[in-house]
Structure 1
């Protein structure tokens, strides 16, 4: 099945959040046929605040196996309702908000009784927080470069940063100390980190997602912080390690050799999720689904189709 042959339906679902002070909608896409009898895969993008464009490669699974794929832009991002007026409002931007949104999308599309769930990075954190509740319809879980404890990610980021060329490290430190992280020089040094440890290839899809983040960083800034190295938002205290044993479904863990999700980040999930399998991608960083796309989709397809 070529990409041109995969039917795509998109739409909006009303997401009722009284605290928003205005009507909200979540924009979604369905690849393939939800009436095919095959269990759909629901994808949760990362960031928080990096919308769905880079996740569209998961439609390779639809082409190869006929698996319906559901993607959506989380509220505050992409084609869903934006709330720049809520920037900095940590009472509004919570994990629970996005769990409620996931439930809303599942019910709207009528798949809440049988679905697989894929979460990348922050999306993996969200998927984990959902899975520990043992929702009855969840069949399989994929945590792609997921993070069970944010402090582990912070430690890994510090380690990876220390491997950058010294002049790049010095530039980052200089601007952090001066409070000039909006400068072009800092952003160029930050890009040196991204090119090594986020995505090691040129990707049009990733470029589109990053552009949307830059256009409205409300969610990222509020929940995480101003940049990759300064995590000061409420997610800095995210820690689900003690609850991972509650995830009862088969779980696939994926990560890359140069990933911010280094082994210290992924190991607690592998240790504490009872039915977990961990696949490591030796040529990748944080986006093996883009960097080693063919192998990644083979691994994902085998996991989803196994009985």
Structure 2
């Protein structure tokens, strides 16, 4: 069970609002850990177990990125509105608005990983540490690895996926059932899916504006605006102590994580042997140990 939040609210982001919750006391000494969720277009819910770090003395900030969860929804916005730069600006704004810009750590999961890496490239003086969890450095490499993982699915599953993708029938029950085969292997191996993960999963489909525009209909069929995006060329600029996390069965395979290890000086990489895309849910005790060990080293 995650600890109860200390505060909830919203901060202004231009004419919009970003929803957040904090666990523990901000500014009490240790850096705040800011949890940056995946998607784009997911919500904070599946990352709630990170709030356990507050029991070890590190305050934790969760937030919902614009367009989802408790933040301002904009279902009528044109696709060009939803950009990496928008979400990078929202993260910068949140850190400043909460008064933690001089002492914080970023935890970026999935899409949140390259987003946080982009933030770290600017070498903000108050950024004490960076965690890139289950995240691609390059969506072109991600797509190559998705094709490889899909080729290993049981007979008939890939054919079903390809047929519905060609027809654009992503809402079909047959497509969703075939999609679930991939997700159960490479996204979350816990059955049934944990409540927090299910909450975020359902939130995407309650308002899929951001997810469909930037990502696509599924994790493995990226046809949105991110399909050609890569942060590899900028990783050499990062000087923040960095922890990389991935699962042995992760859709974020070793090939998509490797550029972070190759390019970020001194980056440490922990692979969770029993996990796929969500080690914080699949191996929670080891995850907490790895995180607290990293945070103590800063």
TM-score normalised by structure 1 residue count:
0.93
Q: Does 1:135 align with 2:133?
A: no
Out of 50, 56, 62, the residue aligned to residue 58 of structure 1 is: 50
Cα distance 1:249–1:83, how it changes in 2: closer, same or farther (>3 A)? Answer: same
**d(CA) in 1 for partners of 2:68 and 2:167?**
30
1:13-24 pair list within 5 angstroms: 13-16=11-14, 23-24=15-16
| Shift of residue 7, structure 1, vs aligned partner | 4.6
Structure 1 position 126 matched with structure 2 position 115 = yes
Aligned residue for 2:51, secondary structure, equals helix
Query: CA contact under 8 A between 2:21 and 2:61: conserved in structure 1?
Result: yes
Who is 2:229 aligned against? 238
Matched, 1:279 2:270: yes
What residue number does 2:218 align with? 227
Q: Give 1:12's aligned residue.
A: 10
Partner Cα distance (1:129, 1:90) in 2:
21
Match of 2:180 in 1: 191
Specify every segment of 5 or more residues in structure 1 that has no aligned partner in the other structure, as ranges: 17-22
- Alpha-carbon distance in 2 for matches of 1:299, 1:8: 24
RMSD of equivalent CA atoms: 1.3
Cα distance in 1, alignment partners of residues 74 and 256 from structure 2? 31
Number of corresponding residues: 296
In structure 2, the CA distance between the partners of 1:7 and 1:205, relative to structure 1 (3 Å rule), is closer
User: By how many angstroms is 1:105 displaced?
Assistant: 0.8
- Whether the aligned pair in 1 keeps the contact of 2:2 and 2:48 (CA below 8 Å) is no
- Residues 100-143 of structure 1: CA distance to partner in whole angstroms, max 9, x if unpaired? 11111111110001111100000001101111111111110000
2:73 equivalent in structure 1? 82
8 Å Cα contact 2:187-2:277 kept in structure 1 = yes
Deviations 1:215-266 (A, max 9, x none): 0010011111222333222211111111111010110000001111111111
Counterpart contact for 1:9–1:30, Cα < 8 Å: yes
Q: Which runs of 5+ in 2 are unaligned?
A: none
SS, match of residue 156 in structure 2: helix
